[in-house]
């Protein structure tokens, strides 16, 4: 049974159950059954794995993920991970049972169990990860699911705030941990946990040890709510109590100490480790216990107690001695059991009495004797009373505290801090029991208190029984399991230790007695003060971690953000574009400056005068277009086309016939497109240019001119420098040599497009289709500006003339306009279609291809619109561009997928020549079918965009009619 799949199942089952739970009906039992079965199954699988992890053996399961980056989905279970997975799944199962009775019917039960299972899966992921990156991913998942669980009652503001605080703190910690783990991976050269655990010396002696340590500890200490990050845990108490019982006793907060113990063999034992971990742990241990005494909310008391106990574990881990590590691992388990049962007690009291305020509660023993008894035993374990499990680990802690580990103040203070913290623990334990269960009967409670249902008490009873059994006969119960865990962490350094209850009268026992007596006296002294005091300890209650945190959050995420936005941000386009050009220039200049830019004296040698003449015209066109674009839009468009034609001729000149062809055709449609758009732009009188520009505007123009000169000059220099060098050996030769052999075509450019890089082309035509649809969608709701609605001046004059003449009707001149060219354009329709077909068919061997043919075909359509008008064309010709596009995409994708039928990868092509009557031998490759798809899509997209704009002329008439009707109505 125990094999690789069982590890995988332990992670997959909870997540699978989590998804499934969402689809279950919302009445109470179905999600409970699911969650119960999943947790029980995980528990049983974990238990079955035990024989494989004894004697320091390790169970592995690996699924490769990104092997080139050293990432794999590697799961790994050793004795320590086993102990933790038992703890997680065991307490998880009990909490599910408990939650069944705790949750109210009106709560969204499926969501609760879905999140609960997902959290458990993530927690098991942390425990079982065999790869540190994987561990961090699960670590972050626990933060996210804990956020969702704490905020489960999201109508409650305190729950939302607590959840957000927990997420912020643990999330930041998780990011630090990620950075730390990346550093570990850098030092060790692997993220594999086995490899990392084997390189302790390398890590400790690395110059990066201190930053790595700090980052990893930031992750662990935030997660375990250690000083100074402890304040999120009490605020997380607004979570439903089953969540606290699970997350804040055995899982979420234990992840931090789990990680410290996991990395203990490789990171512990240095002065830095001792000081950071020891200081944070001691502060959390003593302060947490001290604060817990003064809490009025039961869950608040338990939360501070958790901080304190985790501090104890952290302190033990800081010492760097193997015996202390044993005690730490032992206490992790013990704390999980008694604290989970105490949280359940708190939930029962809240549920049955309606309040968790110790000042209001009193004398509940007579109403719920069984719960009270169980709670007393668990509290005694928490206080460290003999014959309970808490006593054993606390004895070990005392024994370690009096040992000298490093000569320092911290080590000298340790025994005193230990006794002090333990005395506080005794005090708050007594307070909890005495305040809630004893004393006079309670008055004025929201509910009449009564005993909880049996099944709600059962999980508590199981846990308390475990506390007792472990406390009385540790060697026979927890002994072997603890030993497996200890051996797997410490390896050959495992010390000899004894789990006996009685070690004779020694110093640790005396310390325990002192703590018990001291705690009792402390409680008696404080009793009357506590009965009426405010929440929180005196003086310290003024120093609210939550308040400080919120103020910091507001400052960072609101004040600073606003300041930066108002001072550095802008909504104006021009400064943004200026920045863009400037940064591009600086980036280019900087890299050239660093690497040097060498080229000989530029010479005109070998330049044909005609080519130079072409570009004199081209450059003049470009400059004039820039000059005229504001006041003479049509002139600018014509000049732009001049520059385009120069570009086109350059392509033809320099051995790129395909580009020349495509550029020419695109030039045609672009010009038509912009011409169609010109109509909707506002009139701008050239006279306004005469107004003397203000000094500020002139300055801005000089600055822009400078930027433009720098950008253009820079590009010239770079282009010349590249062309002056001999090219490096590129991949061009491969394409040239194999185009015919592998692609079956002689036009290498076309073969690259439809065959070698067919997948890229598929992506590109998809983009084209998306753009066309966007254009179409934007124009569907187009509303022209009011001053563009009226008929153009030219048409108005023509219509007036028509009306004045007796033999003409209004509109005649418009329809007669350019009649001869119109007729020629209409006659050209079939000719251009033949041209498109010709370009398409020869594309594989000669210049042409799907892109060029598609644009030619689109030009054929748009010419008809230009010649005869939208209404005339659409009465006679139904063009469905969206269908063309759909057919094109399907064709291209289906051709690619067709290769699968023959067992080849996507878009593999096949080529041969076919004899056709009359036409002769033509190349037929499956790539041609792909090219057909390209052709269809280009036609569809281009026509769709052009027609969408052309259609506005009809809509404009409608809009003007509406405007006139409105005018008449008023």
Partner 1 sequence: MALVLSLAIGVLIGSGVWLLLRPRTYQVIIGLSLISYGVNLFIFSMGRPRVGAPPLLGSGGPVDPAAYTDPIPQALVLTAIVIGFATTALFLVVLLVSRGLTGSDHVDGREPR
Q: What are phi and psi of 457, to 5 degrees?
A: -80, -25
Residue with tokens 């060790």: 188
- The closest of 678, 700, 692 to 632, measured between CA atoms, is 678
Question: CB of residue 946 vs partner 1: minimum separation in angstroms?
Answer: 8
Residue from 711, 837, 899, 929 touching partner 1 (CB under 8 A): that is 711
Neighbours of 855 (CB within 10 A): 26
Tell me if 847 contacts partner 1 by CB under 8 A: yes
Single out the segment in contact with partner 1 by CB under 8 A; choices: 47-55, 310-318, 415-423, 604-612.
604-612
* 270 exposure class (CB count in 10 Å sphere: 0-12, 13-18, 19+): middle
Residue from 238, 296, 663, 799 touching partner 1 (CB under 8 A): that is 663
Nearer to partner 1, 104 or 604 (CB): 604
Q: What angle do CA 96, 100, 101 make, to 5 degrees?
A: 130
Q: Interaction with partner 1 in 730-769: which residues (CB under 8 A)?
A: 730-733, 735-737, 739-740, 746-749, 752-753, 757, 760-761, 764, 767-768
Residue 257 near residue 317, CB atoms below 8 Å: yes
Rounded Cα–Cα distance for residues 234 and 303 (Å): 5
Nearer to partner 1, 523 or 935 (CB): 935
Tell me if 828 contacts partner 1 by CB under 8 A: no
Q: Interaction with partner 1 in 778-797: which residues (CB under 8 A)?
A: 778-779, 782-788
Rounded Cα–Cα distance for residues 28 and 102 (Å): 11
Residue from 354, 657, 869, 886 touching partner 1 (CB under 8 A): that is 657
Rounded Cα–Cα distance for residues 306 and 253 (Å): 9
Rounded Cα–Cα distance for residues 396 and 400 (Å): 6
Single out the segment in contact with partner 1 by CB under 8 A; choices: 81-89, 395-403, 586-594, 656-664.
656-664
Q: Interaction with partner 1 in 323-342: which residues (CB under 8 A)?
A: none
Question: CB of residue 936 vs partner 1: minimum separation in angstroms?
Answer: 14
Sign of the dihedral through C-alpha 866, 869, 873, 874 = positive
Please give the structure tokens belonging to residue 379: 């509290």
Tell me if 619 contacts partner 1 by CB under 8 A: yes
For residues 64 to 103, the per-residue mask of contacts with partner 1, x marking binding by CB under 8 A and - elsewhere, is ----------------------------------------
- The closest of 912, 939, 907 to 925, measured between CA atoms, is 912
Q: What is the DSSP letter of 64?
A: E
Q: What is the DSSP letter of 339?
A: H
SS3 135: helix
Residue from 705, 823, 824, 871 touching partner 1 (CB under 8 A): that is 705
Tell me if 823 contacts partner 1 by CB under 8 A: no
Question: CB of residue 714 vs partner 1: minimum separation in angstroms?
Answer: 8
CA-CA-CA-CA dihedral for 392, 398, 401, 402, to nearest 10: -130
Residue from 370, 543, 709, 791 touching partner 1 (CB under 8 A): that is 709
Question: CB of residue 576 vs partner 1: minimum separation in angstroms?
Answer: 10
- The closest of 110, 238, 257 to 162, measured between CA atoms, is 238
Tell me if 617 contacts partner 1 by CB under 8 A: no
Q: How far is CA 497 from CA 216, 400, 494, 843, 876, in A?
A: 29, 12, 9, 83, 97
Tell me if 717 contacts partner 1 by CB under 8 A: yes
Single out the segment in contact with partner 1 by CB under 8 A; choices: 69-77, 391-399, 492-500, 625-633.
625-633
Q: Which helix (H) or strand (E) holds 59?
A: strand 59-66
For residues 939 to 968, the per-residue mask of contacts with partner 1, x marking binding by CB under 8 A and - elsewhere, is --xx--x--xx-------------------
Residue from 716, 794, 801, 815 touching partner 1 (CB under 8 A): that is 716
Question: CB of residue 960 vs partner 1: minimum separation in angstroms?
Answer: 14
Tell me if 691 contacts partner 1 by CB under 8 A: no
Q: Which residues contact 364 (CB under 8 A, 6 or more apart)?
A: 349, 353, 372, 436, 437, 442, 449
Tell me if 586 contacts partner 1 by CB under 8 A: no
Nearer to partner 1, 619 or 831 (CB): 619
Nearer to partner 1, 202 or 846 (CB): 846
Tell me if 938 contacts partner 1 by CB under 8 A: yes
SS3 912: strand
Residue 398 near residue 351, CB atoms below 8 Å: no
Single out the segment in contact with partner 1 by CB under 8 A; choices: 102-110, 412-420, 476-484, 938-946.
938-946
Q: How many residues bind partner 1 (CB under 8 A)?
A: 116
Please give the structure tokens belonging to residue 870: 């939208």
Please give the structure tokens belonging to residue 253: 């907060």
Tell me if 833 contacts partner 1 by CB under 8 A: no
Residue from 328, 637, 856, 889 touching partner 1 (CB under 8 A): that is 637
Question: CB of residue 738 vs partner 1: minimum separation in angstroms?
Answer: 8
Tell me if 906 contacts partner 1 by CB under 8 A: no
Question: CB of residue 806 vs partner 1: minimum separation in angstroms?
Answer: 40
Query: How long a stretch of residues is the chain?
Result: 970
Nearer to partner 1, 278 or 758 (CB): 758
Nearer to partner 1, 798 or 909 (CB): 909
Residue from 106, 598, 608, 687 touching partner 1 (CB under 8 A): that is 608
- The closest of 246, 435, 263 to 342, measured between CA atoms, is 246
Question: CB of residue 885 vs partner 1: minimum separation in angstroms?
Answer: 12
DSSP state string for 923-938: EEEHHHHHHHHHHHHH
CA-CA-CA-CA dihedral for 344, 345, 346, 349, to nearest 10: 120
Tell me if 261 contacts partner 1 by CB under 8 A: no
- Work out the end-to-end distance of the chain between its first and last CA atoms, rounded to an integer number of angstroms: 87
3-state secondary structure 716-734: HHHHHHHHHCCCCCCCHHH
Tell me if 612 contacts partner 1 by CB under 8 A: yes
Residue from 623, 693, 699, 962 touching partner 1 (CB under 8 A): that is 623
List the beta bridge partners of residue 77: 59
Tell me if 581 contacts partner 1 by CB under 8 A: yes
Tell me if 698 contacts partner 1 by CB under 8 A: no
Tell me if 838 contacts partner 1 by CB under 8 A: no
Rounded Cα–Cα distance for residues 921 and 929 (Å): 17
Tell me if 455 contacts partner 1 by CB under 8 A: no
Residue 249 backbone zone (phi > 0: left; psi -120 to 50: alpha; other: beta): alpha
Residue from 670, 795, 908, 960 touching partner 1 (CB under 8 A): that is 670
Rounded Cα–Cα distance for residues 913 and 323 (Å): 82
Rounded Cα–Cα distance for residues 366 and 360 (Å): 16
Question: CB of residue 931 vs partner 1: minimum separation in angstroms?
Answer: 12
Tell me if 922 contacts partner 1 by CB under 8 A: no
Nearer to partner 1, 161 or 658 (CB): 658
List the beta bridge partners of residue 60: 76
Q: Interaction with partner 1 in 167-206: which residues (CB under 8 A)?
A: none
Q: Interaction with partner 1 in 862-901: which residues (CB under 8 A)?
A: none
Single out the segment in contact with partner 1 by CB under 8 A; choices: 176-184, 263-271, 606-614, 873-881.
606-614
Tell me if 650 contacts partner 1 by CB under 8 A: yes
Tell me if 644 contacts partner 1 by CB under 8 A: yes
Residue from 346, 669, 860, 927 touching partner 1 (CB under 8 A): that is 669
């Amino acid at each position: 049974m125990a094999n690789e799949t069982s590890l995988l199942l332990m992670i997959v089952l909870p997540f699978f159950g989590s998804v499934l739970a969402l689809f279950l009906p919302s009445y109470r039992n179905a999600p409970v059954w699911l969650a119960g079965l999943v947790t029980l199954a995980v528990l049983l699988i974990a238990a079955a794995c035990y024989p494989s992890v004894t004697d320091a053996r390790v169970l592995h399961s690996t699924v490769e993920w990104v092997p080139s980056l050293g990432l794999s989905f590697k799961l790994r279970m050793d004795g320590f991970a086993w102990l933790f997975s038992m703890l997680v799944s065991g307490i998880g199962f009990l909490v599910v049972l408990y939650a069944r009775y705790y949750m109210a019917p009106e709560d969204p039960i499926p969501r609760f169990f879905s999140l609960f299972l997902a959290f458990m899966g993530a927690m098991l992921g942390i425990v079982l990860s065999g790869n540190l990156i994987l561990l961090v991913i699960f670590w972050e998942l626990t933060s996210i699911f804990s956020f969702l669980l704490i905020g489960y009652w999201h109508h409650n503001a305190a729950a939302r705030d607590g959840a957000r605080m927990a997420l912020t703190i643990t999330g930041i910690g998780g990011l630090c941990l990620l950075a730390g783990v990346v550093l570990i991976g850098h030092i060790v050269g692997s993220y594999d946990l086995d490899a990392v655990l084997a390189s302790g010396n390398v890590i400790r002696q690395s110059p990066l040890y201190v930053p790595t340590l700090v980052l990893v500890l930031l992750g662990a200490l935030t997660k375990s709510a250690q000083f100074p990050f402890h304040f999120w845990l009490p605020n997380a108490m607004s979570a439903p109590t089953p969540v606290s019982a699970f997350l804040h006793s055995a899982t979420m907060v234990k992840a931090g100490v789990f990680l410290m113990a996991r990395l203990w063999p490789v990171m512990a034992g240095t002065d830095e480790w001792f000081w950071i971990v020891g200081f944070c742990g001691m502060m959390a241990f003593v302060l947490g216990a001290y604060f817990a005494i003064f809490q009025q909310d039961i869950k608040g008391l338990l939360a501070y107690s958790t901080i304190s106990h985790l501090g104890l574990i952290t302190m033990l881990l800081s010492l760097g001695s193997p015996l202390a590590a044993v005690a730490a691992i032992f206490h992790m388990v013990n704390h999980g059991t008694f604290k989970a049962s105490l949280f359940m007690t708190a939930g029962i009291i809240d549920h049955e009495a309606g309040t968790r305020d110790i000042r209001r509660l009193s004398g509940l023993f007579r109403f719920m004797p069984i719960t009270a008894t169980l709670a007393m035993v668990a509290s005694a374990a928490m206080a460290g009373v003999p014959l309970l499990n808490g006593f054993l680990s606390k004895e070990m802690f005392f024994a370690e505290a009096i040992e000298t580990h490093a000569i320092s103040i911290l080590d000298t203070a340790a025994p005193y801090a230990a006794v002090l913290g333990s005395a506080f623990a005794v005090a708050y334990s007594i307070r909890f029991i005495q305040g809630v269960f004893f004393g006079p009967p309670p008055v004025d409670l929201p509910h009449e208190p009564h005993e909880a249902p049996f099944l709600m008490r059962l999980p508590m009873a199981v846990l308390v029984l475990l506390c007792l059994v472990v406390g009385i006969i540790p060697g026979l119960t927890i002994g072997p399991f603890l030993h497996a865990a200890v051996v797997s962490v410490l390896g050959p350094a495992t010390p000899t230790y004894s789990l006996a209850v009685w070690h004779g009268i020694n110093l640790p026992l005396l310390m325990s007695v002192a703590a018990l007596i001291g705690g009792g006296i402390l409680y008696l002294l404080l009793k009357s003060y506590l009965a009426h005091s405010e929440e929180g300890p005196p003086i310290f209650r003024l120093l609210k971690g939550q308040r400080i945190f919120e103020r910091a959050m507001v400052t960072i995420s609101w004040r600073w953000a606003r300041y930066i936005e108002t001072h550095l941000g802008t909504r104006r386009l021009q400064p943004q574009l200026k920045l863009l050009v400037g940064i591009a220039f600086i980036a280019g200049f900087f890299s050239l400056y660093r690497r040097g830019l060498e080229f000989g004296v530029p010479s005109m040698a070998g330049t044909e005068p005609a080519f130079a003449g072409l570009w004199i015209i081209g450059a003049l066109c470009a400059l004039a277009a820039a000059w005229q674009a504001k006041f003479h839009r049509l002139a600018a468009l014509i000049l732009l086309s001049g520059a385009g034609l120069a570009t086109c001729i350059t392509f033809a000149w320099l051995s790129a016939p395909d580009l020349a062809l495509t550029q020419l055709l695109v030039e045609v449609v672009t010009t038509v497109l912009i011409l169609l758009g010109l109509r909707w732009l506002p009139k701008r009188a050239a006279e306004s240019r005469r107004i003397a520009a203000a000094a500020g505007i002139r300055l801005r123009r000089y600055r822009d001119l400078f930027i433009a000169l720098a950008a253009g000059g820079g590009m010239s220099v770079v282009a010349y420098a590249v062309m002056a060098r001999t090219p490096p050996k590129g991949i061009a030769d491969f394409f040239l040599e194999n185009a015919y052999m592998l692609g079956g075509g002689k036009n290498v450019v076309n073969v690259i497009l439809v065959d070698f890089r067919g997948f890229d082309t598929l992506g590109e035509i998809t983009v084209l289709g998306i753009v066309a649809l966007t254009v179409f969608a934007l124009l569907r709701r187009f509303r022209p500006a009011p001053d563009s609605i009226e008929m153009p001046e030219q048409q108005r004059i023509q219509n007036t003339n028509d009306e004045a003449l007796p033999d003409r009707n209004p509109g005649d001149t418009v329809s007669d306009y350019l009649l001869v060219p119109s007729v020629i354009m209409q006659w050209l329709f079939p000719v251009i279609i033949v041209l498109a077909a010709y370009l398409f068919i020869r594309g594989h061997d000669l210049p042409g291809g799907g892109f060029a043919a598609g644009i030619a075909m689109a030009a054929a359509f748009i010419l008809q619109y230009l010649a005869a008008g939208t209404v005339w064309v659409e009465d006679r010709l139904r063009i469905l561009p969206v269908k063309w596009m759909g057919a094109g995409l399907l064709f291209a994708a289906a051709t690619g997928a067709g290769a699968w039928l023959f067992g080849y990868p996507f878009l593999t092509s096949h080529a041969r020549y076919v004899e056709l009557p009359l036409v002769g031998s033509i190349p037929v490759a499956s790539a041609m079918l792909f090219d057909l798809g390209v052709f269809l899509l280009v036609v569809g997209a281009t026509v769709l965009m052009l027609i969408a704009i052309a259609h506005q002329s009809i809509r404009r008439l409608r809009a003007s009619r509406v405007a006139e009707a409105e005018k008449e109505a008023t």
